[in-house]
RNA sequence: GCCCCCGUAGCUCAGUUGGUUAGAGCGGCGGCCUUUUAAGCCGCGCGGCGCGGGUUCGAAUCCCGCCGGGGGUACCA
């Protein structure tokens, strides 16, 4: 290494390979199997909080991490070492390390992973906590250069495809995914504390159901039959309520074979819970309470900044019927136009043969109302055509007891008083079959096992689905779902 | 799916009325430096401009196609 006079024209990858070989020739294992009894850097920092500038301690520490910065000074240098708990500066001096270990240390590359031992001190000038190291050991050689240390990694494509590089380079990204993890933990805790039982139902399903969406299809070789990746957990969870699990939830991935956008990833994380003897009003109340309490625990506040506006999740959230919400923004009273032709006329469009009345209402809601709902809002009492699994409204004919929660212009939850009359459920499936026949690819296939379960007797039940990715978007201010999903869907 | 925009060194970016061997910072390589923090100083460009065609005396710059990404739009959590 470095014996020729002329400048090397080798590229960065070759340089690192060359160093790897150099280390092996020097008898150093570039990938040793362990580095036992090390502390987390975060613990070391905590142990010396407030150490006065210039103070040197006898306190020895053994830490390990990736070298993310280096400032050389000839016979001494500073290295920045980072692990999953934090970052600390290392002060490496030839007089403490010895000639050869020092030379080898300085010859390491940014990105290499090392284990070190040394004593804690606070630097004279900045008072920065540092370890004056007297021993070190290579733990893993990095053969590819890290992203730019100052600008970080900004190319969004690389950030999504190679999230590990994004995490190495960008503090903000590390912070965001930690926040996501805490959100999921707090959601589980909130439900566990209230006696909800977490379950895992099939991802591979012989029939899909529980939402209006197109599924992914896959094939089981041994059984020689197709399966669907679930689009929702709803039907299995309600069968568990039939089975006597009065409070049940599942938090996991659903899959929908539809477009990708800033608020849609084909696989996404959904929470669904079902509670016996609750109705949609009680369920909506739980939703607003849970979201506010989770926000409080994760962020320390129920208020989040989103662009120019502040969204406040403190309950109670605003409530409005779908009829009023649409009427307020479009002047159209959907109940005054109860047929597809009449509603299309009121909207000033031609009735599309593939779109029923319900689809038109859904269109008005998602185009005219949803983007306007920035503060948390429950939209209530949907048309039965849109809601094949919701119980008919106790007083409003043609409507069901259903709510959707919106915030930041996005739908984040969808819940109802669950339909538990098996004969009515069978009729709803038949209606869906007609939609399917008309060409609606999102209509629900008939699920006899589910209807049979209802015939067994399901108590009145309140249930809800909450989009966890979107909730995390709201809590973090992320503009795209890709920012809160570690490896979002990309082309090949 | 459709429309618009983008794709230059490992990273962040500059470079279009088409014109000599394509530039900068960080990183890298060589050297100096025992308290620096985007450390500093001196020296060295390590890519031929996403891919493939085409126009032209000449293309990173113009045209066509493809691939990838972003934004918008359509459907959905």
CATH code where residue A16 lies: 2.40.50.140
Q: Please check whether residues A434 and A299 belong to one and the same domain.
A: yes
Pick out the nucleotide with least CA–C1' distance to A74: B33
Give the pLDDT score at A10. 45
Q: How far is it, in rounded angstroms, from Cα A54 to Cα A122?
A: 5
β-pairing, A129-140 with A113-122? antiparallel
* C-alpha count within 13 angstroms, C-beta hemisphere, residue A80: 11
| CA of residue A8 to C1' of nucleotide B57, angstroms | 37
Rounded CA-CA distance A51/A456 in Å is 68
The nucleotide lying nearest A411 (C-alpha to C1') is B77
Query: Can you give the pLDDT at residue A258?
Result: 86
State whether A212 and A313 are in the same domain. Answer: yes
How long is the CA A146 to C1' B7 vector, in angstroms? 21
Q: Which helix (H) or strand (E) holds A86?
A: strand A86-93
* pLDDT for residue A427: 93
Tell me what pLDDT residue A45 has: 97
Detail the DSSP E strand segments found in A277-418: 303-306, 309-312, 318-321, 377-380, 402-407, 410-417
Q: Is the CB of A469 under 7 A from strand B?
A: yes
A490 within some domain: no
Domain extent for A47: 6-140
| Three-state SS sequence of A134-201 | EEEEEEECCCCCCCCCCCCCCCHHHHHHCHHHHHHHCHHHHHHHHHHHHHHHHHHHHHHHCCCEECCC
Same domain? For A184 and A129 the reply is no
Residue A308 domain flag:
yes
Q: Are strands A197-198 and A247-255 parallel, antiparallel or unpaired?
A: parallel
Nucleic acid strand B within 7 Å of A126 CB: yes
**Nearest residue: Cα versus C1' of B11:** A148
Of A residues 231-270, those with CB within 7 angstroms of nucleic strand B are 256, 258-266, 268, 270
Spatial distance between the Cα atoms of A18 and A12, rounded to a whole number of angstroms? 10
> Which bases of strand B sit closer than 7 A to a protein CB?
1, 10-13, 25-40, 43-47, 67-77
The tens place of each residue's pLDDT in chain A, 492 residues long, gives 333 333 334 478 888 988 999 899 889 999 999 999 999 999 999 999 999 999 999 999 999 999 999 998 899 999 999 999 999 999 999 999 999 999 999 999 999 999 999 999 999 988 999 999 999 999 999 999 999 888 889 999 999 999 999 999 999 999 999 999 999 999 999 999 999 999 999 999 999 988 888 899 999 999 999 999 999 999 999 999 999 999 999 999 999 998 888 999 999 999 999 999 999 999 999 999 999 999 999 999 999 988 788 999 999 999 999 999 999 998 999 999 988 888 888 888 776 766 778 888 988 998 889 999 999 999 999 999 889 999 999 999 999 999 999 999 999 999 999 999 999 999 999 988 887 777 777 788 899 999 999 999 999 999 999 999 999 999 999 989 999 999 999 887
ipTM for the predicted complex: 0.89
**Kind plus residue range of the DSSP H or E element containing A22:** helix A12-25
Q: Which pLDDT belongs to residue A308?
A: 81
Residues A122 and A180 in one domain: no
A112 with A255, same domain: the answer is no
Residue A323 lies in a domain: no
Is there contact between A195 and strand B, defined as CB under 7 Å from any strand atom? no
Nucleotide with the nearest C1' to A93 CA: B34
A72 CA → B39 C1’, Å: 8
CATH of the domain at A182: 3.30.930.10
**Distance in angstroms (rounded) separating the CA atoms of residues A414 and A458:** 20
Nucleotide of closest approach to A9 (CA, C1')? B46
Are the C-beta atoms of residues A481 and A265 closer than 8 Å to each other? yes
Among A87, A39, A83, A96, smallest CA distance to A63 is for A39
- What are residue A12's DSSP bridge partners? none
Report d(CA A443, CA A491) in Å as an integer: 27
Closest CA to A147 of A136, A138, A158, A135: A158
Give residues 428-457 of chain A lying near strand B (Cβ < 7 A). 442
| Distance between the alpha carbon (CA) of A103 and the C1' atom of B25, Å | 28
Domain boundary among A117, A140, A163: A140
Last residue of a domain, one of A92, A121, A140: A140
Residue A361 lies in a domain: no
A207 in the same domain as A122:
no
Question: What's the confidence (pLDDT) of residue A359?
Answer: 82
Q: In the 313-342 stretch of chain A, whose C-beta falls under 7 Å of nucleic acid strand B?
A: none
* Residue A332 domain-assigned (yes or no): no
Residue A74 exposed, middle or buried by CB count within 10 Å (0-12, 13-18, 19+): exposed
- List Cβ neighbours of A419 (8 Å cut-off, separation of 6 or more): A388, A389, A390, A391, A392, A400, A425, A428, A454
Q: Which strand ranges, in their side-by-side order, compose the sheet holding A267-276?
A: A197-198, A247-255, A267-276, A461-467, A410-417, A402-407, A377-380, A318-321
Shared domain for A196 and A98, answered yes or no, is no
Size (chain A), residues:
492
User: Is A219 a member of any domain?
Assistant: yes
> What 3-state DSSP class applies to A475?
helix
**For A434-462, what is each residue's pLDDT tens digit?**
877 777 777 888 999 999 999 999 999 99
Query: Each residue of A147-194: pLDDT tens digit?
Result: 988 888 999 999 999 999 999 999 999 999 999 999 999 999 999 999
Q: Can you give the distance from the CA of residue A213 to the C1' of nucleotide B75 in angstroms?
A: 9
| End residue of a domain, out of A89, A119, A140 | A140
Q: Is A384 found in the same domain as A285? A: yes
Q: How long is the CA A161 to C1' B66 vector, in angstroms?
A: 21
Q: How far is the CA of A390 from the C1' of B36 (A)?
A: 66
A192 and A53 fall within a common domain: no
* Residue A283 lies inside a defined structural domain of this protein: yes
Q: Is residue A358 part of a domain?
A: no
Please indicate, yes or no, whether residues A380 and A279 belong to a single structural domain of this protein.
Answer: yes
What residues contact residue A303 under an 8 Å CB cut-off, 6+ apart?
A310, A311, A312, A313, A314
CA distances from A108 to A99, A102, A205, A333 (A): 15, 10, 52, 71
The total of structural domains in chain A comes to 2
A160 CA → B14 C1’, Å: 26
Cα–Cα distances (Å) from A254 to A108, A155, A468, in that order, read 45, 28, 11
Q: Token digits for A271?
A: 């929470």
Which nucleotide's C1' sits nearest to the alpha carbon of A481? Answer: B77
């Amino acid at each position: 290494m470095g014996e020729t006079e002329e400048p090397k024209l080798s590229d960065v990858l070759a340089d690192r390979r060359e160093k790897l070989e150099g280390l092996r020739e020097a008898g150093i294992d570039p990938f040793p199997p362990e580095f036992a009894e090390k502390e987390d850097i975060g613990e070391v920092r905590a142990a010396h909080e407030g150490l006065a500038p210039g103070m040197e301690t006898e306190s020895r520490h053994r830490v390990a991490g990736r070298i993310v910065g280096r400032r050389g000074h000839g016979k001494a240098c500073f290295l920045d070492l980072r692990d999953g708990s934090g970052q600390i500066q290392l002060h490496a001096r030839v007089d403490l390390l010895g000639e050869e270990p020092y030379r080898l240390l300085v010859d390491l590359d940014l990105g290499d992973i090392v284990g070190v031992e040394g004593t804690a001190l606070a630097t004279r000038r900045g008072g920065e906590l540092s370890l004056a190291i007297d021993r070190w050991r290579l733990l893993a050689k990095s053969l590819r250069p890290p992203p730019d240390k100052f600008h970080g990694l900004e190319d969004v494509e690389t950030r999504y495809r190679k999230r590990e590089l994004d995490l190495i380079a960008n503090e903000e990204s590390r912070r965001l995914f930690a926040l996501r993890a805490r959100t999921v933990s707090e959601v589980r805790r909130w439900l566990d504390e209230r006696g909800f039982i977490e379950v895992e139902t099939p991802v591979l399903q012989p029939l899909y159901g529980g939402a209006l969406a197109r599924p992914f299809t896959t094939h089981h070789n041994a059984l020689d039959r197709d399966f669907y990746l679930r689009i929702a957990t709803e039907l299995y969870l309600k069968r568990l309520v039939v089975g006597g699990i009065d409070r049940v939830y599942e938090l996991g991935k659903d899959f929908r074979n539809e477009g990708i956008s800033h608020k849609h990833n084909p696989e996404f994380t959904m929470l669904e819970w079902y509670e016996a003897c609750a109705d949609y009003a009680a369920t909506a109340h739980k939703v607003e309470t849970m979201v506010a309490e989770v926000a409080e625990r994760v962020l320390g506040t129920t208020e989040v900044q989103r662009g120019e506006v502040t969204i406040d999740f403190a309950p109670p959230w605003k409530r409005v019927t779908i009829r009023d919400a649409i009427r307020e923004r479009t002047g159209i009273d959907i109940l005054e136009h109860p047929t597809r032709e009449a509603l299309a006329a009121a909207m000033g469009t031609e009735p599309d043969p593939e779109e029923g009345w319900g689809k038109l209402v859904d269109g008005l809601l998602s185009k005219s109302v949803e983007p306007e709902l920035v503060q948390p809002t429950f939209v209530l009492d949907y048309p039965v055509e849109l809601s094949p699994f919701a119980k008919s409204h106790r007083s409003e004919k043609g409507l069901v007891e259903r709510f959707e929660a919106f915030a930041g212009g996005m739908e984040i939850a969808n819940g109802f008083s669950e339909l538990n009359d098996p004969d009515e459920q069978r009729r709803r499936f038949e209606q869906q079959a007609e939609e399917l026949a008309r060409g609606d690819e999102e209509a629900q296939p008939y699920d006899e096992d589910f209807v049979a379960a209802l015939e067994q007797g399901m108590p009145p039940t309140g249930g809800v689905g909450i989009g966890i990715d979107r909730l995390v978007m709201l809590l973090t201010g992320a503009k795209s779902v890709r920012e809160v999903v570690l490896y979002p869907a990309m082309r090949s």
